[in-house]
Amino acid sequence: MPRPFPYRLNGRRFVIATAQVTNAEPASAIADARGRRWLDVQIRRRSDDAFLATDHAFVDAKGRILAMTSELGQQAWADVDRRRIAATHRSRGHDEGLASPAARPPEWDAIAQSRGFERSDEPRRLDFVGFAPDGRPMFLASKAASAWRAMQAAAHAEAVVLEAVSTFRSIAHQHALVARKLARGDTLAQVFAVNAVPGYSEHHSGRAIDLGTPGCAALDEAFEHTPAFAWLQQHAARFGFRLSYPRDNPHGVIYEPWHWYFVDHDRATTRQL
């Protein structure tokens, strides 16, 4: 009988391990007609492998966990599952359908261009960089992803916590966002006062990242007064990031101390949001 899952499932904070390490199945592994079974497992801390508790995992015929009995088990399962999701999203080729030029009224381009924005192309490849606060996977272009990881680690070494709130956003997604707001009765002026015209957002490039820090609401001007923002002002340029929208910026965008853009020095020009 095949093993239900690898002996150790490593998460970011926890390890789930089968309780018996033998060639035989644990006594509790009695499968039903669909191959599902309960298994005795142990939950340990990943940092020092300290034993925490025993639990029961309900797995399917392929060894995928379907449920855990205890609250601690559910936390460990969620932690391991996030790692599994991270592995599936580690990198991907980007082939999401774009909104056709015909779907974007010409006046939208005129509005963007009158405010000094340039078109921003989507990258062909995106790398997974973690999960947003709402649980959605986040992606950045490969070079920006590497720079972000290095910058986050450098800040952490100085006891400064930087958290990604939002990263890549497709043109199609931006178009749908604007369309929903217009459908509910907002005017173009109202929508484009807070949202970029589809096709002109730095987020399309995969090189823009909205940052936050614990104790500060996401996408709030109060971020300006945090140690995280002070650290970024002093060190972000070293990693290739610049603040896109300072106060009184020429594009007429509201002050966004949280929005940072990775400048690709391999290009003669850089795209704007």
pLDDT tens track for 244-256: 999 999 998 889 9
Verify that 156 and 61 share a domain, yes or no: no
Least confident piece of the model among 13-17, 166-170, 228-232: 13-17
Q: Is 110 exposed, middle or buried (0-12, 13-18, 19+ CB in 10 A)?
A: exposed
Q: What is the mean pLDDT of residues 51-65?
A: 83
pLDDT of 224 > 90? The answer is yes
Asked whether residue 192 is assigned to any structural domain, the reply reads: yes
Verify that 80 and 120 share a domain, yes or no: no
Largest Cα–Cα separation, the chain: 72
| Percentage of the chain modeled with pLDDT above 70 | 81
From CA 91, how far away is CA 93, in angstroms rounded?
7
Verify that 173 and 229 share a domain, yes or no: yes
Least confident piece of the model among 46-50, 98-102, 194-198, 266-270: 266-270
Asked whether residue 272 is assigned to any structural domain, the reply reads: no
Average pLDDT score over the chain: 84
Verify that 74 and 149 share a domain, yes or no: no
Q: What is the mean pLDDT of residues 200-229?
A: 96
For residue 229, the domain's CATH number is 3.30.1380.10
Instruction: For 231-263, give one letter per residue: b (16+ CB within 10 A) or e.
Output: bbeeebeebbbebbbeeebeeebeebbbbbbbe
Look at residue 100 in the predicted model and tell me its pLDDT: 52
* Count of domains for the chain: 2
Which two three-digit tokens encode residue 107? 């006046």
Last residue of a domain, one of 54, 88, 122: 88
Verify that 142 and 258 share a domain, yes or no: yes
Asked whether residue 2 is assigned to any structural domain, the reply reads: no
Look at residue 38 in the predicted model and tell me its pLDDT: 85
Do residues 200 and 120 lie in contact, with contact meaning Cβ atoms separated by under 8 Å? yes
Last residue of a domain, one of 33, 66, 88: 88
Asked whether residue 268 is assigned to any structural domain, the reply reads: no
Asked whether residue 267 is assigned to any structural domain, the reply reads: no
Verify that 227 and 111 share a domain, yes or no: yes
From CA 46, how far away is CA 137, in angstroms rounded?
23
Verify that 19 and 151 share a domain, yes or no: no
For the chain, report the end-to-end CA distance as a whole number of angstroms. Answer: 56
Least confident piece of the model among 7-21, 107-121, 236-250: 7-21
From CA 87, how far away is CA 218, in angstroms rounded?
26
Q: How many CB atoms lie within 10 A of CB 207?
A: 27
Verify that 119 and 144 share a domain, yes or no: yes
Asked whether residue 273 is assigned to any structural domain, the reply reads: no
Verify that 73 and 180 share a domain, yes or no: no
201 — pLDDT class (breaks 50, 70, 90): very high
Q: What is the mean pLDDT of residues 212-235?
A: 97
Residue pLDDT, tens place only, 24-37 = 454 455 677 767 78
pLDDT of 263 > 50? The answer is yes
Verify that 152 and 124 share a domain, yes or no: yes
From CA 137, how far away is CA 164, in angstroms rounded?
11
Last residue of a domain, one of 32, 58, 88: 88
* pTM score, whole prediction: 0.68
Verify that 22 and 71 share a domain, yes or no: yes
Give the structural domain span for 153.
Answer: 92-262
Asked whether residue 36 is assigned to any structural domain, the reply reads: yes
Look at residue 96 in the predicted model and tell me its pLDDT: 45
Residue pLDDT, tens place only, 128-186 = 888 788 767 788 999 999 999 999 999 999 999 999 999 999 898 899 899 999 999 99
Asked whether residue 217 is assigned to any structural domain, the reply reads: yes
Look at residue 267 in the predicted model and tell me its pLDDT: 42
Residue pLDDT, tens place only, 76-112 = 888 887 666 666 666 666 544 444 555 678 899 999 9
From CA 191, how far away is CA 95, in angstroms rounded?
27
Verify that 81 and 34 share a domain, yes or no: yes
